Amino acid sequence: MKKMILITMLLLAGMGTSLAEGRIHILPFPQQVEEGDGDYCTSSEVLKVAAVKEFKAELGLFKQQLKDDRQIKVSRTCMKKADVRVVKAVVPLAGRDGSYRIRIDGAGVLVEAYEASGAFYGLQSLAQMVRKEEGRLVFPQCRIEDWPMLSWRSFMLDEGRSFKGMEVVKQLMDDMARLKMNVFQWHLTDDQGWRIEIRKYPRLTEIGSKRDSTQIGWYEWDTYDGVPHEGFYTRRQIREILDYAAARHITVVPEIEMPGHSAAAVAAYPWLSAAGKEIKVPCKFGVQYNVFNPADPKVLAFLKDVLDEVMDLFPSQVVHIGGDEVRYDEWKNSPMVQEFIREHELGSPAGLQVWFTNHMAAYIESKGHRMMGWNDITGEQLHDFQTETSEVKVSLSPEAIVQFWSGDYSKMARSAERGNDIVNSFNEYTYLDYSYEYDPVQATYNWKPISLKKAYLFNPVPEDFPEQLKSSIIGSGCQMWGEWIPTVEKMNYQVYPRIAAYAEAFWLPAGKKDYDRFKENLQPFLKHWEKHPVPSQKNSDSCTCRQE
């Protein structure tokens, strides 16, 4: 299977096409590169490094990384004797966090950064440039000035559907760090599983983190693997992941789905839904009918308790509440919910969802955080199953961050006009569960394939987006949804190498991208992913999954 993944990756990356010119091979490619003619060579096979005190931690990780990935020894020394010096810049380049400058000449290597993430990214670039030659280490002479186009460059992992575990998450974060991606969106709850310990409500994990079996194949197929699936993260494990992420300048944004995609929570506490019926954690994928009841003060109190524990644990300013694909059937059938809609003059279940979202946004803001949700939270009609409920009399708080995934760019523009910041995660370009090539099964849902090239050419700030609204697009993300990735191997196949294409698409403006150059710079990553496959999860071999 591993071999097959590598061959596929090489084919997808278009091996054998002409190589782009240039001596600087960095991915994502820097904003400005001036190449020199010569090299800087160290006097031995040990790289001598020094950094100002603010950047010592970044240097420590660089040292470890060169040792693990390239078997290069790094030793710390004083500034005067160092091959590589990491110093503080007077100002950030382009006013951006994450910016850095590298100067390599005959005398040595100088990395300048204003703050720690810039130093970290400068060292990541350096790690990609160093070559081993005849007992020495060699760097191409050059000047680089670099900064990210977007401040939010995310990868999302859906563990609600498919629990992967600590080692997989850490490995993904290692690759994100190499690719200068800085937000790990952790989709921790969904209909098919609740994956985060909440002390006040232990049944969320006792009941909600386990299901009897898992649907395989496709949404309409009546096929199940018959293998129980379970898993959740304790608070201690989450702290370990958060430390791991922080060292790599990755912010972990927790996503706790509400009011929909909440069947696992309802299985644990049936009173959370207006129907109040006992259910089991679903084994079937697709949008479920069990949703939280926002008209019940006890349910709102429950959700605030959950968010309190989440905000206590995660340092991220942003808290994601999901908000996508809410089926309104239970709300329409509940006299209590209908009365609530009338009393608050909300007009429709969609209006109730906006009211609920604003209520949670205000709570999250009162705790010094900021709410984010999928673009369903705007109240715009996105799904066939919501057609009859389009009247919305309330509008979304302008403080909320809207993660655009569905509809067309006019919807994204309307959110920007209303003052919301946007993360562009348009499904047609950024969903990692979409196949690389035409797939007749996925085509039944109108899922169009996303080739490596299509992923690379994705422009998160569309050219024809209204000029005055472009600055509202603060970021972009790629999303690994969990329905059809029962094994780590299958997940890897979907993620690699497209994650690298997104990393460059989020870092560089369209005018500076070059697909041939990208394919060439991808080669060392492909080799790395061959040598360091993501470790297998415990039960990865026991599932029967559709083979490529």
> What tokens does 349 get?
């279940």
Compare residues 134 and 384 and give the one whose CB is closer to ligand ACM: 384
Compare residues 58 and 324 and give the one whose CB is closer to ligand ACM: 324
Taking the alpha carbons at both ends of the chain, their separation in whole angstroms is 9
Q: Sign (positive/negative) of CA torsion 503, 2, 546, 267?
A: negative
Least separation in angstroms between residue 499's CB and ligand ACM is 18
Q: Which residue is nearest to ligand ACM (CB)?
A: 324
Compare residues 271 and 445 and give the one whose CB is closer to ligand ACM: 445
Which of 292, 283, 238, 306 has the alpha carbon at shortest distance from 260?
292
Among 190, 296, 324, 504, binds ligand ACM (CB under 6 A): 324
Least separation in angstroms between residue 112's CB and ligand ACM is 40
Least separation in angstroms between residue 421's CB and ligand ACM is 17
For residues 455 and 132, the answer to whether their CB atoms sit within 8 Å is no
Q: In sequence order, what are the residues at sequence separation of 6 or more whose Cβ sits closer than 8 angstroms to the Cβ of residue 90?
A: 114
Pattern 341-380, ligand ACM, x by CB under 6 A: ---------------------------------x------
Least separation in angstroms between residue 403's CB and ligand ACM is 8
Least separation in angstroms between residue 323's CB and ligand ACM is 9
Burial 414-425 (b: 16+ CB within 10 A, else e): bbbeeebbbbbb
Q: In sequence order, what are the residues at sequence separation of 6 or more whose Cβ sits closer than 8 angstroms to the Cβ of residue 351?
A: 341, 379, 391, 392, 393, 394
Question: 393 to 422, contacts with ligand ACM by CB under 6 A?
Answer: 405
Compare residues 40 and 374 and give the one whose CB is closer to ligand ACM: 374
Least separation in angstroms between residue 246's CB and ligand ACM is 27
Residue 158 contacts ligand ACM per CB under 6 A: no
- Indicate the SS3 state at residue 436: coil
For residues 523 and 6, the answer to whether their CB atoms sit within 8 Å is no
Least separation in angstroms between residue 266's CB and ligand ACM is 18
Compare residues 99 and 435 and give the one whose CB is closer to ligand ACM: 435
Least separation in angstroms between residue 546's CB and ligand ACM is 20
Which of 182, 139, 188, 186 has the alpha carbon at shortest distance from 161?
188
Least separation in angstroms between residue 156's CB and ligand ACM is 9
Question: Measured between alpha carbons, how far is 245 from 170 in angstroms, rounded to an integer?
Answer: 8
Question: Measured between alpha carbons, how far is 419 from 145 in angstroms, rounded to an integer?
Answer: 32
Question: Measured between alpha carbons, how far is 265 from 202 in angstroms, rounded to an integer?
Answer: 11
Compare residues 163 and 374 and give the one whose CB is closer to ligand ACM: 374
- Between the alpha carbon of residue 267 and those of residues 71, 330, 336, 370, 481, the distances in Å are 50, 15, 21, 29, 22
- For strands 84-88 and 100-105, give the pairing: unpaired
Compare residues 114 and 194 and give the one whose CB is closer to ligand ACM: 194
Compare residues 296 and 325 and give the one whose CB is closer to ligand ACM: 325
Burial-class residue 37 by CB neighbours within 10 Å (0-12, 13-18, 19+). Answer: exposed
- Between the alpha carbon of residue 409 and those of residues 380, 381, 426, 462, the distances in Å are 13, 14, 9, 9
Compare residues 115 and 324 and give the one whose CB is closer to ligand ACM: 324
Among 158, 174, 325, 433, binds ligand ACM (CB under 6 A): 325
* Binding residue count for ligand ACM, defined by CB under 6 A: 4
- For strands 210-211 and 229-230, give the pairing: antiparallel
Least separation in angstroms between residue 322's CB and ligand ACM is 8
Compare residues 311 and 377 and give the one whose CB is closer to ligand ACM: 377
* Interface residue list for ligand ACM (CB under 6 A): 324-325, 374, 405
